[in-house]
Structure 1
Amino acid sequence: AGRLESWAAGTKSPAGLLDTAYSLATTRSALESRAVVVAADDEGFVGGVQGLASGNPGATVVRGSAAGGRFAFLFSGQVSQRLGMGAELYETYPAFAEAMDAVCAELDQYL
């Protein structure tokens, strides 16, 4: 977080921050400790990273630890989906329903 803080404080380009966020999310090793900074602009991002680096994350920082197992699903929005598709998967496949319930339980606290 300290290295990211130093870099972010010196970056003035929103594209640079966007590219960095993408790279951090898609190309880094999946480490046990995780953090997300929710920000609407560069200033909010830098402030969130500074809080994370100093050990005093504010309300815009969400921290957590990776749990065992991996699960992902994607509805790409490219016409191959139809209304009610998720509900059908939920009703038909218990593993999908269980995973969806777990994801919803985690996200509900932020809604």
Structure 2
Amino acid sequence: SCVFCQQPRDCEFSFFQEFFFKCGAHPTSDKETSVALNLITTNSRDITCITCTDIRSPVLVFPCNHRHVICLDCFYLYCVTRLNDRQFIHDPQFGYSLPCVDKFSPWLKG
């Protein structure tokens, strides 16, 4: 039922969606529908974050040609900003996603 009005999903608020993100190490069950974030990895090569230039671990590595790295704090802010601005991109292969934070990256231009 709708989280706002407790009516069936065909109410006026039915356009809202929930997103759940979990790291690959998080235990899941068959009843959960979240996807593991396989782009999050340890920063064993000490690569700087493309946004804040800090060296942190773990990081998210974008699947762009340059394999840009972003720390999780910056990625969180990037996600919240893009979500608030309604700038998630629907890709037939990946579903709703975000482009690489580098505006010149060819991956999921947005």
Same fold (TM over 0.5): no
Name the TM tier (shorter chain). Answer: under 0.3
TM-score normalised by L of structure 1: 0.28
Which has the higher relative contact order, 1 or 2, with Cα contacts under 8 A spaced 6 or more apart? 1
Bigger CA radius of gyration: 1
TM-score normalised by L of structure 2: 0.28
